């Protein structure tokens, strides 16, 4: 039997401009946002997992309730090195976004940090020690 594969991760946003600014700091690229856009996706290559961002009003119309960000990370970003974890977390903080958990050496052998996008979705940053 065929096995489904992870194709996309989705978040909702109160401000597509702020949300794309945050995810750009994590290395995602976006086309210019138009004033009437309600759904945008990061530019990806063939076979890469897509990042989809829906305006929160659109999401509410689709699911019938107000979307609320989770209180636990929904996805994690692999960094090239422990120093990159530190650098990306620092860029996030310097840009005025929230670092939930400052970079630390986790007992499972990774440099780890958790940051939050403008709507509160948490993203883990990690690299092998």
Beta strands in 1-129 (DSSP E): 8-13, 39-41, 50-55, 75-78, 98-105, 110-116, 122-128
Q: What is the pLDDT of residue 6?
A: 83
Interval 100-113 mean pLDDT = 96
Does residue 119 register a pLDDT over 80? yes
Q: What is the pLDDT of residue 66?
A: 92
Q: What is the pLDDT of residue 86?
A: 98
Q: What is the pLDDT of residue 69?
A: 87
For residues 79 and 116, membership in a common domain is answered with yes
CATH of the domain at 102: 3.10.180.10
Does residue 74 register a pLDDT over 80? no
Domain boundary among 39, 63, 87: 63
Interval 114-118 mean pLDDT = 95
Instruction: Give domain status of residue 68, yes or no.
Output: no
Domain range spanning residue 14? 8-63
């Amino acid at each position: 039997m065929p096995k489904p594969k992870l194709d996309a991760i989705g978040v909702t946003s109160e401000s597509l401009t702020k949300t794309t600014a945050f995810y750009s700091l994590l290395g995602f690229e976006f086309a210019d946002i138009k004033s009437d856009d309600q759904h945008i996706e990061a530019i990806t290559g063939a076979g890469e997992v897509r990042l989809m961002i829906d305006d929160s009003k659109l999401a509410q119309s689709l699911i019938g309730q107000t979307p609320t960000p989770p209180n636990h990370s929904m996805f994690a970003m692999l960094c090239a090195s422990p120093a990159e974890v530190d650098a990306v977390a620092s860029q996030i903080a310097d840009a005025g976004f929230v670092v939930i958990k400052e970079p630390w050496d986790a007992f499972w052998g990774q440099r780890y940090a958790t940051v939050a996008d403008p709507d509160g979705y948490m993203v883990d940053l990690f690299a092998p020690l």
